[in-house]
Structure 1
């Protein structure tokens, strides 16, 4: 099942303002070389905005963040925490889930739109995942 990333308004304003400014400034200044350079930058930002999501399939989470990809085996997940960690991550919202996995306690931060459904799907595959109290509250909500 595919889950889109939540999208915070403030981040949308930053991304779309960057796209517009990077394209409009060279046009208004008639700087065509700068415009040609800005096109891939704008395309990359749009790819991040529209191409961030999480696919649960084949006992894995397949994380896509524009051109970047990461695969996490659901069986390797040890814990899920709620997080507002501002680190760069494949998430378009500051309201995130921290997925802890692997022998060395690697983690990734994601922000699926439907957190409750996402977590329940993970628990079906791996009922041994530990949940922090805030995640348990999400599961208690209907």
Structure 2
């Protein structure tokens, strides 16, 4: 089974980025335009867009592959996953939303991701590793995703 989960894109991350980068771009254009500065800013904007558009999570056989642009590429053996917990931890991670899941695996390792359809993702992981503990923030019967 190979299944790809796109990362949820949260407005709580998009709006501040648009406001900050957009304001800097407008100011750079209105005031004495420095074409080098504008080119650098446009490169930063393209980089951020690229990261948001290329963040996804793949379940391929017994592995979870986490991809975030060209900077982050991690493979986790699903049988080593111990716990999946809902979190809003804003720590830098391969997640494009604050609506996140923290995955604990191996001895002391963890990674935070934000699949668009969390409950489906969790169910697919549990199907491959029924020993995974799942910790919900909300009541378990509420719909996730």
Conservation of the 8 A alpha-carbon contact between 1:6 and 1:113? yes
Residue matched to 1:74: 78
Shift in CA distance, 28/141, structure 1 to aligned 2, threshold 3 Å:
closer
CA drift at 1:120 = 0.8
Q: TM-score, normalised by structure 1?
A: 0.85
Instruction: From 99, 106, 117, give the equivalent of 1:102.
Output: 106
CA deviation profile, 1:25-67 (whole Å, cap 9, x unmatched)? 3333321111122222111111122122211113212112222
CA deviation profile, 1:100-137 (whole Å, cap 9, x unmatched)? 0012x211111111111101111111111112254881
User: 1:135 and 1:54 mapped to 2: Cα distance?
Assistant: 23
Cα RMSD, aligned residues only: 2.2
Q: Which runs of 5+ in 1 are unaligned?
A: none
Count of matched residue positions in the alignment of Structure 1 and Structure 2:
140
User: 2:143 and 2:18 mapped to 1: Cα distance?
Assistant: 33
User: 1:48 and 1:10 mapped to 2: Cα distance?
Assistant: 16
User: 2:138 and 2:116 mapped to 1: Cα distance?
Assistant: 14
Conservation of the 8 A alpha-carbon contact between 1:22 and 1:42? no
Conservation of the 8 A alpha-carbon contact between 1:81 and 1:135? no
Matches within 5 A, 1:45-64: 45-64=48-67
Matches within 5 A, 1:86-97: 86-97=90-101
Matches within 5 A, 1:33-48: 33-48=36-51
CA drift at 1:19 = 3.7
Q: Kindly indicate which of the two structures has a greater share of residues assigned to helix.
A: 1
User: 1:80 and 1:51 mapped to 2: Cα distance?
Assistant: 23
